[in-house]
Each structure stands twice: as C-alpha cells, then as structure tokens.
Amino acid sequence: MSDSSPRPRIISPDTLRAGGDRQARTPPAQVLSVKWPVLHYGNVPEVNPHAENWRLRIFGACDAPYELKYDEIRAMPPVDVVCDMHCVTHWSRLDNVFTGVPTKLLIDRAKPRPEARFVMCHGENGFTTNLPLEAFTGDDCILAWAWDGKDLTPDHGWPLRGIVPRLYLWKSAKWIRGIELRKTDAPGFWEQNGYHMNGDPWKEERYGW
C-alpha cells in the first residue's frame, strides 16, 4: 500500500547550514520560538475544499493552465519537507516537518513560458504575495496540508498553504487558491504595504524594494 510506504524526505538546505548548528541556522535579528505563532491579515476564512467551486488554479504565462480539485491534490504522491520558518516579526521556528506536493511539479505541468520569471500566489479573501519563480520552485517548496504529521489547523492555512522555507514566512500564502505565472514582478498584499519583493531572511530583506 502506498499509505505505508515512507514519503520522500527533503531537508531544506538552510536547515543544514553550518552543520545544523541552531545558532548558525538563525538569521540575523531573529529570535528562536518553540511555539508557532499565528499571523495574518483579517479573519480566518472558512474553507470547504470539497465544495463544488473549490479549485487550485495554475494560470498566467504558461501554455497549459489547469485547475485541480482538492481530492486530486491529495491523491498526488506527497513529500515531507524538514525546514525552518522565519517570520519578519523576528521569530524563527526550527525543525518543522510539512507534508504536501512539490510546487515544481505543479508548475512544470502548466508548461511555463520561457518569459515566466515570477509568481503571484493568491489566497482566499484576495490575499496575494509575489516572489521569483526560481525561489518558489526550490526543491524544498511545497503546497502543504500537514505539519508535524497532522492536518494544519485552519488558522495556519488548512486546507492548503504555500511553504517557501528560504524566504520570510509572509511569502508562504495560507489558504492558497491560485498560482499565477508572470513575466513581470508586481507587489502582493504585504509588499504593497512596504514589505520586500524578494524577502531573503539571511539578507534581512524585510522592508523596501
């Protein structure tokens, strides 16, 4: 049974930074947290991924845009990603295990055009966040439904959220519903409010473009 076969385990390269030493894995001006805080704009949306109109859409600068139902996503072979999380509000949480499907697989299937260089992730309630396509399709990037072996709680983004471990956590859209491939970069929700277009915690790309 596929249920009992071990899932591929992908270790985010940052987790191995300097031999995995905790301090060496903590980016500048971050403080380690044992708890996992909840942060987002607005209310936690009530999402029913089995509702008739729920789809994940992959669209934009690609030759084969498509949509997936939630069950189709959950039927894809999942991977576990071991990674650290870094929030721009200065907390970091090490050694997380998220389960989901690789973004690279989802993106490749849409046949991105050569000029596609950025993505805009779309969440429920109009939330958006932009990032370079290359950063979004790293080996450790997934759309996740579980953390620590259990389904995500709604406030952390269930039924599906982006996980882009090597950028600040605001680039990891909760309640994701769409991935738009783009030729040009454009600021998403927090980016329009002054957050960085790229968001690398090791370069402290917090605010400003």
Ligand X SMILES: Nc1nc2c(c(=O)[nH]1)N[C@H]1C(S)=C(S)[C@@H](COP(=O)(O)O)O[C@H]1N2
Provide the minimum distance between the beta carbon of 134 and ligand X in the complex, in angstroms, as a whole number: 20
Compare residues 41 and 64 and give the one whose CB is closer to Mo ion. Answer: 41
119 binds, among Mo ion, ligand X, none (CB under 5 to 8 A by kind): none
* Closest residue to ligand X using C-beta atoms: 123
- The residue length of the chain stands at 209
Please report, as a single letter, which amino acid is at residue 13.
P
CA distance 14 to 11: 8
Compare residues 177 and 196 and give the one whose CB is closer to Mo ion. Answer: 196
Compare residues 32 and 39 and give the one whose CB is closer to Mo ion. Answer: 39
103 binds, among Mo ion, ligand X, none (CB under 5 to 8 A by kind): none
CA distance 79 to 97: 10
Compare residues 28 and 126 and give the one whose CB is closer to ligand X. Answer: 126
Provide the minimum distance between the beta carbon of 158 and ligand X in the complex, in angstroms, as a whole number: 10
Provide the minimum distance between the beta carbon of 95 and Mo ion in the complex, in angstroms, as a whole number: 20
The 8 Å CB, 24+ separation contacts for 74-79 are 74/145, 76/101, 76/105, 77/2, 77/7, 77/101, 78/7, 79/7, 79/8, 79/9, 79/10, 79/142
49 binds, among Mo ion, ligand X, none (CB under 5 to 8 A by kind): none
Compare residues 48 and 192 and give the one whose CB is closer to Mo ion. Answer: 192
Q: Which residues bind Mo ion (CB under 5 A)?
A: 39, 170
CA distance 87 to 31: 10
Q: Which residues bind ligand X (CB under 6 A)?
A: 36-41, 87, 123, 127, 156-157, 169-170, 172-175, 190
CB atoms within 10 A of CB 15: 19
Q: Is the dihedral of CA 207, 154, 147, 6 positive or negative?
A: negative
186 binds, among ligand X, Mo ion, none (CB under 5 to 8 A by kind): none
163 binds, among ligand X, Mo ion, none (CB under 5 to 8 A by kind): none
Compare residues 91 and 118 and give the one whose CB is closer to ligand X. Answer: 91
Provide the minimum distance between the beta carbon of 128 and Mo ion in the complex, in angstroms, as a whole number: 14
37 binds, among ligand X, Mo ion, none (CB under 5 to 8 A by kind): ligand X
Q: Give me the torsion for CA of 150, 142, 55, 65, rounded to 10°.
A: -160
3-class DSSP state for residue 136? Answer: helix
